[in-house]
Chain A
Amino acid sequence: MSLLSTKHLLGINDITLDDINLIFKTADNFMEVINRPIKKVPSLRDITIANVFFENSTRTKISFELAEKRLSADVVNFSSSSSSVTKGETLIDTVNNILAMKVDMVVMRHPAPGAHQFLARHIDANIINAGDGTHEHPTQALLDAFSLRQKMGDLNGKKIVIVGDILHSRVALSNIYCLQRLGAKVRVCGPPTLLPKHISSLGVEVSHNLKESLTWCDAANMLRIQLERQEDKYFPSLREYSLQYGVTLPMLEKLDKEIVLMHPGPINRGVEITSEVADSEQSIILNQVENGVAIRMAVLYLLAGKAND
């Protein structure tokens, strides 16, 4: 059995192209599994996984839980909308308490960037990052690239634009690393107040012009406006944001080619994209969700293999 080069999945920046390709290959197999009448394999029946979510999540949490259950793992869930710090218990204590119940893997979402790196220094279990603040969301990037590859084939040389709030997004950073590893050309597009000043140092193009970026790209990943992560206002109103950076059907119809539309969800309909676009043929938003389960099964399966060594 081939395995990943790392013990944890902390971020795409920590894994190799070989790891990504292996995850995709494994996910291809699991895609077949989850489309069977009996969508379950016994691979992780000796493994207990804790889903520890310190931030609200619907689809990521369900996706991980489904992936775990389809691999026959035992699953426990811990959710807290506030961080452990505000409750007076440290992250290490919270997770160690869970591990004391003989948990093998921890899937964690946490509002603080680097929380998983911190945890990895203090506990022994495999850790999977389900989103750490404004840093990384590796499984989202993997399922995004996997979905694009399903739709467009090899991503080498393909042009992908990531639109919106890059500054507060963990999806953007992970997507940039992942797509670049796969040979795609990446551009970010958004208002200058929502782009990190040094973002071009990652080797991405920077644009503030959505229409021109749609003409340039083969696929557009429309990020969710993270109003909950903005302490200051970075633009005057959602209406004005949408006027400049929202995708409408007439805009797509004016293009001389058909581009692929993505969104990590949940969509603010009428802000990042209109309902017509979200529900159009060009949108692969629901494919992303479906593929998310297969990708997470692949990651869990490969990392658990490492844990059993």
Chain B
Amino acid sequence: MSKSYIIRDSTLVEIGNSLHLQKVDILIVDGTIVEISSKINADGKEVVGNNLYVSAGWVDLRCHLTDPGNEHKDSLENLLDSAAAGGFTSVVTLPHSEPPISDKSSVKYLTKSAENHVVNLLPTGVLSATENTENLAELYDMNNAGAVAFTNGDQAVSNGLLKKALLYTKPFGARVITHPSDKSLEQGGLVNESDVTVHTGLKTSSSLAEYLNISEQIEVARYCEASLHFSAISTEESVNLIRTAQSEGVKVTCDVAIANLCFSDQEVLSFDENFKIYPPLRSESDRQALIAGVNDGTIDAICSNHCPQNIESKQVEFDYAEYGSLALQQVYPWYLKHLSNDIELEKFIEVVTVKPSNFLGQESSSISKGMKANLTIFDKDKVWKFDSSNNKSTSNNSHEWNEELTGGIVAVFNNNLSNRY
């Protein structure tokens, strides 16, 4: 027996689609879009809402992996459920589980575990073996096993290692991702160094640590004539450096975490440990530059930087709290509340769909008749509470815990499966 769904009265958001920004009904049968028109008369489960939008399924380029090793923070299943509830049908995971994703078998553990889920799990592997950070891990083998990119996450990557990695991966086209930061300049800083955080007495980290390292890594990429992706950039100077490099033909791309777009270092004045995140929240001028970078195309994607932490590692003094905040389920509400005046909806959709898909070399799903349904349906007017009944994560480290949020996901479709909320 076939499964049919009808998405009712939903504004289609897909630049280039002839129905872009038009209200449509969409009929999905057995995971395939069979009809799109202004009014469909057919049988099927109805997806309805007050102010519905439909776009291609969202793609997250950065979330933290806690399984294996830290399942008490979050399980793989809960991570994927959080992604789906946040509108994401593909998530790229960082490799620093315990043990890290550093060989073929660990890549396969992830891809096997995520089979038959509405969300595609796209694992990254480590660039270098943990015991010797200057030696490459088995990148070719992991690439063949399904790793979509290689990164050392938030750990430092020396210029020497980066050069080796960029050259070595060229023949098999693997992607290399770094989060640049000069650890000797970070000096263990917890928050941004600024005229705001000077009031807190907290250890600070200068934005210099990030952009100096970016400027060096741009030169390494230029030298190697290779592609390099910067993950979760956070400073104005980083945006400027990348913009200039791109205009000179250096193949660098980048993404920004939603929290760094929505919040500034003003938030840490309350010492709320949920705002202890990495990279740290920067100055308002950095935030504005990041928004400009999204709008002018310098920044290719908005990522969640979702990082579950159990209450014992988070509900302590700011100094001792682990970094990170939940974000997957808040991406859309945060966009509406903090960014929708500065970033048009169609631009937001572009940086969570087609642009990250292009970076990953994946065919971007298109909303048209005959295509497989990989869709996110979201309701601008949906009001919901971020509490234990709606939270999909094992953890609840969020400054909005038990608060009401506006804007929510109504359904996701992918892999001939659907989740509805």
Could you tell me which A residues sit within 8 Å of B by CB distance?
Answer: 13, 83, 85, 90-92, 110-115, 117-118, 132-136, 170, 173, 196-199, 201-202, 231-232
B201 touches A199 (CB 8 A): no
- Interface presence of B141 (CB below 8 A): no
B residues within 8 A CB of A136? 201
Residues on B with beta carbons closer than 8 Å to the beta carbon of A83: 317, 320
B320–A85 contact, CB under 8 A? yes
- B319 close to A (CB within 8 Å): yes
Q: Which residues of B contact A85 (CB under 8 A)?
A: 316-317, 320
For A231, list chain B residues within 8 Å (CB): 188
Asked whether, in the complex, the Cβ of B271 is within 8 Å of the Cβ of A199, the reply is: no
Complex CA distance for A84 and B277, rounded to whole angstroms:
23
B129 within 8 A of A: no
Q: What CA separation (Å) do A197 and B198 show in the bound complex?
A: 9
Give me the 10 closest cross-chain CB pairs, A-B, nearest first. A135-B201, A114-B271, A201-B195, A112-B319, A112-B317, A113-B201, A134-B201, A198-B195, A117-B271, A198-B198
Partner of B198, one of A92, A114, A202, A232: A202
Q: Mark B293-313, 1 if CB is under 8 A from A, else 0.
A: 000000000000000000010
Is B193 an interface residue, CB under 8 A from the partner?
Answer: yes
Cα A231 to Cα B186 in complex, Å, equals 13
Residue B273, interface by CB 8 Å: yes
Is there an interface contact between B193 and A118, defined as CB atoms closer than 8 Å? no
A-B contacts, 12 of them at CB < 8 A, read A85-B317, A90-B312, A110-B317, A112-B320, A113-B201, A114-B201, A117-B270, A117-B271, A135-B200, A170-B201, A198-B193, A202-B198
CA distance A170 to B199 in the complex (A): 10
Whether B348 is near chain A, meaning CB under 8 Å from some CB there, is no
Complex partner residue of A133 from B194, B197, B201, CB under 8 angstroms: B201
B residues 177-219 near A (Cβ < 8 Å) are 187-188, 193-195, 197-204, 206
A300, chain B: closest CB distance, angstroms: 24
Residue of A91, A111, A118 most packed against chain B (CB within 10 A): A118
- B204 CB to closest chain A CB (Å) equals 7
Q: How far apart sit A196 and B197, CA to CA, in the bound complex (Å)?
A: 10
Q: Bound state CA distance, A111 and B199, in angstroms? A: 16
Q: Which B positions have Cβ atoms within 8 angstroms of A? A: 187-188, 193-195, 197-204, 206, 270-271, 273, 312, 315-320
On whether the beta carbons of A135 and B202 are closer than 8 Å, the reply is yes
For A110, give the chain B residue with the smallest CB separation: B317
Give the nearest-CB partner of B318 in chain A.
Answer: A114
Contacts of B271 in A (CB 8 A): 113-114, 117-118
What residue of chain A has the Cβ atom nearest to residue B199's Cβ? A13
Q: Contacts A197-B193, A197-B206, A198-B193; is A118 near B201 (CB within 8 Å)?
A: no
Are B317 and A201 neighbours in the complex by a CB distance under 8 Å?
A: no
Whether the pair B316, A90 counts as a contact (CB closer than 8 A) is yes
| Residues of chain A within 8 A of B320, CB atoms compared | 83, 85, 112
CB-defined contacts of A132 to chain B, threshold 8 Å: 201
For the complex with contacts A118-B317, A173-B199, 19 further pairs of A-B residues with Cβ separation under 8 Å are: A85-B316, A90-B312, A91-B316, A92-B315, A111-B319, A112-B318, A112-B320, A113-B201, A114-B201, A114-B271, A114-B319, A115-B318, A134-B203, A135-B201, A196-B204, A198-B193, A198-B197, A198-B198, A201-B198
* Contact present for A232 and B317 (CB under 8 Å): no
Q: Which residues of A contact B273 (CB under 8 A)?
A: 118
Give every chain B residue within 8 A of A112 (Cβ-Cβ). Answer: 317-320
> Which of A85, A133, A231 has most chain B Cβ within 10 Å?
A133
Q: How far is the CA of A199 from the CA of B188 in the complex (A)?
A: 19
B402 CB, nearest partner CB in chain A, Å: 14
User: What is the minimal beta-carbon distance from B188 to any residue of chain A, in angstroms?
Assistant: 7
Chain A residues with Cβ below 8 Å from B193 are 196-198
Say whether B198 contacts A113, CB under 8 Å.
no
Contacts of B317 in A (CB 8 A): 83, 85, 91, 110, 112, 114-115, 118
Asked whether B319 lies within 8 Å of A113 as measured between CB atoms, the reply is yes
Q: What is the CB-to-nearest-CB distance from A244 to chain B, in angstroms, rounded to a whole number?
A: 23
- Nearest chain A CB to B196 CB, angstrom units: 8
Chain A residue nearest to B187 (CB atoms) is A232
CB neighbours of A198 from chain B (8 A): 193-195, 197-198
Most buried by A among B188, B194, B206, B317: B317
Residues of B within 8 A of A134 (CB): 201-203
User: What chain A residues lie within 8 Å of B204 (beta carbons)?
Assistant: 196
A92 contacts across to B, CB distance below 8 A = 315
Q: A173: which B residues are within 8 A, CB to CB?
A: 199, 201
Residues in chain B near residue A91, CB distance under 8 A: 316-317
Chain A residue, CB-CB nearest to B312:
A90
Q: How far is the CA of A126 from the CA of B271 in the complex (A)?
A: 18
Contacts A91-B317, A92-B315 given; does A114 touch B195 at CB 8 Å: no
Q: Which residue of A lies closest to B204 (CB)?
A: A196
Q: How far is the CB of A117 from chain B (nearest CB, A)?
A: 4
Q: Which residues of B contact A135 (CB under 8 A)?
A: 200-202
CA distance A137 to B275 in the complex (A): 24
Would you call A199 and B318 a contact (CB within 8 A)?
Answer: no
Question: Which of A110, A198, A199 has its CB near the most chain B CB atoms (within 10 A)?
Answer: A198
Q: Give A162 Cβ to nearest chain B Cβ, in Å.
A: 14
> Cα distance A197–B187 when bound, in Å?
14
Within the complex, what minimum Cβ distance (angstroms) separates B416 from chain A?
47
Q: Bound complex: CA of A232 vs CA of B271, how far in Å?
A: 25
Q: Judge whether B200 and A199 touch: CB under 8 Å.
A: no
Q: How far is the CB of A9 from chain B (nearest CB, A)?
A: 16
CB contacts (< 8 Å) of A13 on chain B: these are 199
Least Cβ–Cβ distance between B122 and chain A, in angstroms: 36
Compute how far the CA of A117 lies from the CA of B319 in the bound complex, rounded to whole angstroms.
12
Closest to B319 in A: A112
Query: Within 8 Å CB of A202, what residues of B?
Result: 198-199
Q: How far is the CB of A156 from chain B (nearest CB, A)?
A: 23
> B194 — which chain A residues lie within 8 A by C-beta?
198
Given contacts A114-B271, A117-B270, A232-B187, contact A196 B198 (CB under 8 A): yes
Within 8 Å CB of A170, what residues of B? 201
**Complex: A198 Cα to B265 Cα, angstroms:** 14
Instruction: Indicate if the CB atoms of A199 and B198 lie closer than 8 Å.
Output: yes
Considering the chains assembled together, what is the distance between the CA atoms of A23 and B194 in angstroms? Answer: 32
Q: How far apart are B331's CB and chain A's nearest CB, in angstroms? A: 26
Return chain B residues, CB-CB under 8 Å to A114.
200-202, 271, 317-319
Which of A113, A117, A170, A199 has the most chain B CB atoms closer than 10 A to its own CB?
Answer: A113
Partner of B319 from A133, A201, A232 at Cβ < 8 Å? A133
- A86: nearest chain-B partner, CB-CB: B320
